[in-house]
Homo-oligomer: A and B are copies of this chain.
Amino acid sequence: MEATPAPRSGPPASTRLDSYVDRYAARTAGMTASEIRALFAVASRPEVVSLAGGMPNISGLPLDVVGRAVAGVVADHGAEALQYGSGQGHPRLREQICEVMRLEGIDGHPDDVVVTVGSQQAVDLVTRVFCDPGDVVLCEAPSYVGALGVFKSFQCDVVHVEMDADGLVPAALRAAIASVRAAGRRIKFLYTIPNFHNPAGVTLSAARRAEVLEICRAEDVLVLEDNPYGLLGFDAEPMRALRADETEGVVYLGSFSKTFSPGMRVGWALAPHAVREKLVLAQESATLCAPSFSQFAVSAYLSEHDWQGQIKQMREMYRERRDAMIAALHDFLPPSCSWNVPHGGFFVWLTLPPGIDAKAMLPRAVTARVAYVPGTAFYADGFGSSCLRLSFCYPTPERIREGVRRLAGVLEAEMELRATFGATAPGVAAGPRSGYDGPSTDLS
């Protein structure tokens, strides 16, 4: 099996073909750059109102407190915080993580916690530990683009399960399990975001939580509960986590990215004991350990600051932005659009009038200086073309209102085009489209 030597000299690397194209792993077929990535480079210009990004708004963080905390970490714990740590994570931080989880009814043990490089890495490690190529992962329809990217990169097949205003639909979950198994295929887990869903904005009701757990117990399906937004509810106390009522059948993922700082890259998994052991081995192989310095910094922030008071302020800020977005949608959008009113988190899921394609419309929206993420990004199967995700987390209320006003103008023009030329108008299409739009940090 002699290979032909590839050319080693010639034009600069950036202008030549990829000489490695035949040598990549099969899994790279599922690791493709987003078609809309180039558009997002444009969308990051200041004149564009981006309703696309999922970045938390950290402008309210007390930088004086954080500055003192990180300086204190160096002065008081430098020898440990600047050194390698254990693959499982800093013991004191794992205790604090258990205190955080207690707010959602979880009675977890620090020994069952693995600290990860953001909860994104936790999704990656769980998938690495469980999934062979061709295994099925059940996901809500739509689902988080970054998780879909992980599942694709491990060559899993995603089967979407319907949601409604109360979250995942139990009957649809039963049906999906039955149909996948009838096809002789193996389900490795149900990936779910019960609170303030990304991108759908909905929350799984308490009654549904019990029902979903009951189904997964009866059918022996592991639940991967991803909960980055659980403490960011606008109206009520945090909901009880799935993990609070099921110890062995749930791997729970949490994160400090939305409640403190994504730049620290500190998330975690709480897993049944045997799974936790595998996750630690996977973590050691992937990165040796999550960043020690970040772990000490998060630990110091939690110890030294009123972090719950800080989260309360964040919730107020996000609620004000949510209100601004809902009011603007109501004021500017035609009645043939529909959307939900999220009770927490960052996102509104908007359904466009029949026949309008959100991805085809995006270039015109960016030209009109507003950006969003087309719904297809959140499906592994090309569905979602008539939907889009709007984020209210980052811009000011005034900018949000202006962004929705611009979006309404673009949509009106699109609808006129369709009324004049019908479904054959360029860029106007309906039904599932091929292609997967993520992941990218812009979309997270």
Contact = CB atoms under 8 A, between A and B. Distances in A.
A130 B24 contact: yes
Interface stretch (A76-84, A202-210, A314-322, A426-434): A76-84
A289 B66 CA distance: 21
B6 A272 contact: no
Contact of A444 (B66, B73, B84): B84
A75 B58 contact: no
A104 interface: no
A294 to B, nearest CB: 5
Contacts of A5: 217-220
Given A3-B220, A218-B5, A291-B263, A19 B274 contact: yes
A247 interface: yes
Nearest to A59: B79
Interface in A413-435: none
Given A63-B74, A130-B23, A264-B291, A58 B31 contact: no
A67 B63 contact: no
Contacts of A286: 117, 120-121, 124, 286
A23 B137 CA distance: 13
B1 A181 contact: yes
A278 B82 contact: no
Given A75-B63, A84-B263, A289-B265, A272 B13 contact: yes
Interface of A: 1-6, 8, 13-14, 16-21, 23-28, 31-33, 55-56, 58-59, 61, 63, 66-68, 70-71, 73-75, 78-87, 111-112, 117-118, 120-121, 124, 128-132, 135, 146, 149-150, 153, 181, 184-186, 188, 217-220, 222, 246-249, 257, 261-265, 272-275, 277-278, 281-282, 284-294, 296-297, 439-441, 444
